[in-house]
Amino acid sequence: MKKKSVIEKNSSTEEKIKEAARKVFTQKGYAATRTRDIAEEAGYNLALINYYFRSKEKLFDIICLENIQLFIPSVLGILNDPATTLQEKIEILVSNYIDMLMKNPELPLFILSEIHKDPMTLINKVWSNNIRHENAYIIKQWQEFMASGKGPSVNPVHIFINALSMMIFPFVAGPLLRNRTGMGKEAFNKLMEERKKLIPVWIGTMLNIR
C-alpha cells in the first residue's frame, strides 16, 4: 500500500506538474509565470494545477523549498569529516558545488531574485533551521588555522565572499558572459570544469597573503 502510493507520487501527474512548474518558475520568475504556462508545459489542463496544489502560490513555495534544498545536502557530510584537511575540504566543496551548479545553472539567479523581491518571506519560509553547522569539524580546523598565525591578515569574510563569488557569479551572469564573449554552451562548461581545480588554488593563495 505505502509502496504503491510512493511510486504513484514520484512519477505521474503531480510530479509532472511540479517539474513543469520548476522549469517555468525558474526561467521567468513568479510574477511573469501564468498557471496556463505551467499546465501547457506539463501537457495537462490548467484546472489540475489547482486540484493538486490548491494555488499558484502554494506550488511556488514547494518549488522554492526544493530548489534551495539542492544547495545543502551535498555539503553537510564534508564539513564534518575529521579525515580531511582544511585545504582538502575546500577542494571537495568547490568541486561538488560547481558540479551542482553545472546541473542547475539557473538556480542561483532564481533564488537571489526571489529573495531580493521579498527578503524575509522566502528566507524564513525555507531556511528555518535547515542549516546547523556550529559543531561541524571544519569550524575546529578553521579556528586552529587562525590560531596558528598562518591565517590571512584581512577579515576572513572577504575570502569567504570571494570563494562564493568565483563559484556562483559565472552562472548568475552566464547569458551575459556568453553573449559578450561569443562563447558557446560547451566552451562555457569547459571553463567551469577548469575552475574546479583553479578556485581552491586561488583561495589558498588569498588565505596566505599578508
The site for DNA (CB under 7 A) is made up of 12-14, 33-36, 44-51, 54-57
The dihedral of CA 167, 20, 38, 3: what is its sign? Answer: negative
Specify the residue, 92 or 111, whose C-beta has the smaller distance to a copy of itself: 111
Q: Provide CB contacts within 8 A for 6, sequence distance 6+.
A: none
Cell numbers for 195: 575552475
* Residue of 55, 85, 143, 165 interacting with a copy of itself (CB under 8 A): 165
51 binds, among a copy of itself, DNA, none (CB under 5 to 8 A by kind): DNA
Write the DSSP string, 151-162: S-SS-HHHHHHH
- At its nearest, how many Å lie between a copy of itself and the CB of residue 14? 26
User: Can you tell me the distance from the alpha carbon of 51 to that of 41, in angstroms, rounded to the nearest whole number?
Assistant: 17
The alpha carbon of residue 190 and the mean position of all alpha carbons in its chain are separated, in whole angstroms, by: 20
User: Closest approach of Cβ 86 to a copy of itself, in Å?
Assistant: 20
Q: Which of residues 63-122 bind a copy of itself (CB under 8 A)?
A: 106, 109, 112-113, 115-117, 119
Stretch that binds a copy of itself, among 7-15, 16-24, 138-146, 167-175 (CB under 8 A): 167-175
| Pair 39, 16: CB distance under 8 Å | no
What does 70 bind: DNA, a copy of itself, none (CB cut-off 5 to 8 Å by kind)?
Answer: none
Minimum CB distance to a copy of itself smaller for 92 or for 167: 167
Of 31, 128, 132, 147, the one binding a copy of itself (CB under 8 A) is 31
DSSP secondary structure letters along 2-57 = HHHHHHHHHTSHHHHHHHHHHHHHHHHHHHH--HHHHHHHHTS-THHHHHHHSSHH
DSSP secondary structure of 58-69: HHHHHHHHHHHH
> Between residues 83 and 176, which has the closer beta carbon with respect to a copy of itself?
176
CA angle 126, 79, 137 (to 5 degrees): 120
- Interface with a copy of itself (CB under 8 A): 27-32, 106, 109, 112-113, 115-117, 119, 123, 154-155, 157-158, 161-162, 164-166, 168-170, 172-173, 175-177, 179, 181, 191, 194-195, 198, 201-202, 205-206, 209
